[in-house]
Structure 1
Amino acid sequence: MKKVLLVALMVLALQACKENAKETSADIDAETAAETDMKMSEDNEWTELSLDDWQAFKGGPAPEFWKEEDGAIVFYPPSDEARMSPDGERKSFNIVTKNDYSSFVLSLEWKISDTGNSGIMWGVSEEDKYKEPYHTGLEIQVLDNEKHPDAKNGTTHQAGALYDLVEPSEDATKPVGEWNLAEITVDYAANKGSSVLNGVEVATFPVGGPELDQLLKGSKFDGWDGFGKFKTGKIALQDHGDVVAFRNIKIKELK
């Protein structure tokens, strides 16, 4: 009888430990988010960006496929039919900031759909000869690392990477359906950029000059006219054909 009682007490103790661990983890996440919000609210250099601060790539209102829901900007990809222009050209529905930015820190949360793909770009030019934001803008990858095929094309294609150029130091993503906190720094004065994902600095990289040129050699962007050359340009959220959401978008310009 004593043995049975002892086993029962041990089981109850283990369950209590597990529950306390879950609560502790949740408390840490909540405290981190609260501390970040408090720091940003105390720093009046941060500017919040709602859907009103974005437009269609090449101008015009943000496409109807981008919705503002519960404080988040959500992209719902259109049908193949809706993507076709009258002349038979397939259209994309990327959005870019109305303002131009040079050096900055961008903080936001993203949530990707199952098997989804998207990206965050900067230094995007809207000159006529560039048909897509990725033709000029460097990109931090947003991805379902577990299921999207691009994750199998090398670690430089995984979430948090400087796309096709610098791999993340580790997979710091949360499971699909959960929000990921990202912070992207672009500092042209120091010629340094960084990608922080859920509190982990997963990538650092040059943002211009010979150092970036060297990094581009052998990549898919090698020889692309204008790629990574614009120190002032738009920030873009990518239409890659999958549902994706962004929220708590804040930016601080660096001098």
Structure 2
Amino acid sequence: MGKVVLPLLIILLLTNCKSENSEWKSLIVDNSMEGWHTFQNAESTKGWIVENKTLIFNGISDMESGEGDASLLSDKEYGNFELKFDWKIIPGGNSGFMWGVNEDEKYNYPYQTGPEIQILDPAIYDDPKIALGGEMEINNAAEDLEAHKHFVGALYDLSPPTVLNAAKPASEWNSYHIKIDYKANRGEVILNDVLINSFPLQGPEWDAMLQNSKFSKSESEDSEYLGDARWYDFGKFSKGHICFQDHPGEVSFRNIRIRELDGKRS
């Protein structure tokens, strides 16, 4: 009997211990927009296309059109996960990746709830005047030249990257590997195989970062455009939609893959 049980036990262990590769899922299905929608519009993907399995924002951002945020959200909500994708942005362009986004109608924008990992042409920090999006984006860079809380790989306005030379120039592909794990209370950003940022996701350290950011200024007149919800629920959802930002400048994403961390793992 022992000769039968031992091999069976090994088979069961191998079956339950899935390899990391088998858990990664592509988020571009059949070279289409399946599984995606724009913020608060389940029927729309306006401004976004897929070509050769590459997701592209080539529309006009809300900042330019004033017609409502066109950030692209996953239909599915995610909690703890790892995400890998390549990104490429045009000169002067700006975008971002968010998680924990809530679509309640009281929110005017996805970034009222979802923290953002910055995607940016790094040359903007050499010459802020090249930033697309007008005076607001120029000022965002010009006021951040020392702190780097808006630089490539930053947790926007909260945690700057610790490495500033890992990004490739505009019009070249970069690779992100982002880990969000509330169980471990840790987020990580790996850019082109270099760990450039790590940060807490909740607790006293998170609260301290929040206090030193714009997200603590809900009572400011500058926050009135957000509506009554302001920043009150920023970063509070440990499960929500993932999101690619509507922002000035064409941006492309490819090889978008996700691995959920909430299930059983060996």
Under TM normalisation by the shorter chain, which class is it?
0.7 to 0.9
CA drift at 1:64: 2.8
Paired residues for 1:1-255 under 5 Å = 43-50=21-28, 51-78=33-60, 83-84=65-66, 90-147=67-124, 148=131, 149=138, 150-154=140-144, 155-171=148-164, 172-222=166-216, 223=218, 224-255=231-262
Tell me: CA distance 1:225–1:141, structure 2 relative to 1, closer, same or farther (3 Å).
same
Partner of 2:9: none
SS at structure 1 position matched to 2:118:
strand
Q: How far apart, in 1, do the equivalents of 2:204 and 2:192 lie?
A: 30
8 Å Cα contact 1:156/1:162 also seen in 2: yes
Q: TM-score, normalised by structure 1?
A: 0.78
Q: Deviations over 1:16-74 (max 9, x none)?
A: xxxxxxxxxxxxxxxxxxxxxxxxx9611111001312111113234231011122100
Task: State the number of aligned residues.
Answer: 210
Q: How far apart, in 2, do the equivalents of 1:204 and 1:79 lie?
A: 29
Tell me: CA distance 1:129–1:80, structure 2 relative to 1, closer, same or farther (3 Å).
closer
Give ranges in structure 2 of 5+ residues lacking alignment.
1-18, 125-130, 132-137, 219-230
SS at structure 2 position matched to 1:44:
helix
Q: How far apart, in 2, do the equivalents of 1:173 and 1:81 lie?
A: 25
SS at structure 2 position matched to 1:58:
coil
One-letter code aligned to 2:55: I
One-letter code aligned to 2:196: V
Considering only aligned residues, what root-mean-square deviation do their CA atoms show, in Å? Answer: 2.0
Tell me: CA distance 1:166–1:81, structure 2 relative to 1, closer, same or farther (3 Å).
closer
SS at structure 2 position matched to 1:211:
helix
Q: How far apart, in 2, do the equivalents of 1:160 and 1:68 lie?
A: 24
One-letter code aligned to 1:192: R
One-letter code aligned to 1:251: I
SS at structure 1 position matched to 2:91:
coil
One-letter code aligned to 1:71: K
Q: How far apart, in 1, do the equivalents of 2:63 and 2:162 lie?
A: 40
CA drift at 1:80: 7.8
Q: TM-score, normalised by structure 2?
A: 0.74
Q: How far apart, in 2, do the equivalents of 1:55 and 1:81 lie?
A: 19
Tell me: CA distance 1:80–1:54, structure 2 relative to 1, closer, same or farther (3 Å).
closer
Moved over 6 A (4+): 79-82
Q: Which of the two has greater helix per residue?
A: 1
SS at structure 2 position matched to 1:74:
strand
Q: Which protein, 1 or 2, shows the higher relative CO under an 8 Å CA cutoff with sep ≥ 6?
A: 2
Give ranges in structure 1 of 5+ residues lacking alignment.
1-40, 85-89
8 Å Cα contact 2:77/2:242 also seen in 1: yes
* Percent identity over paired residues: 43
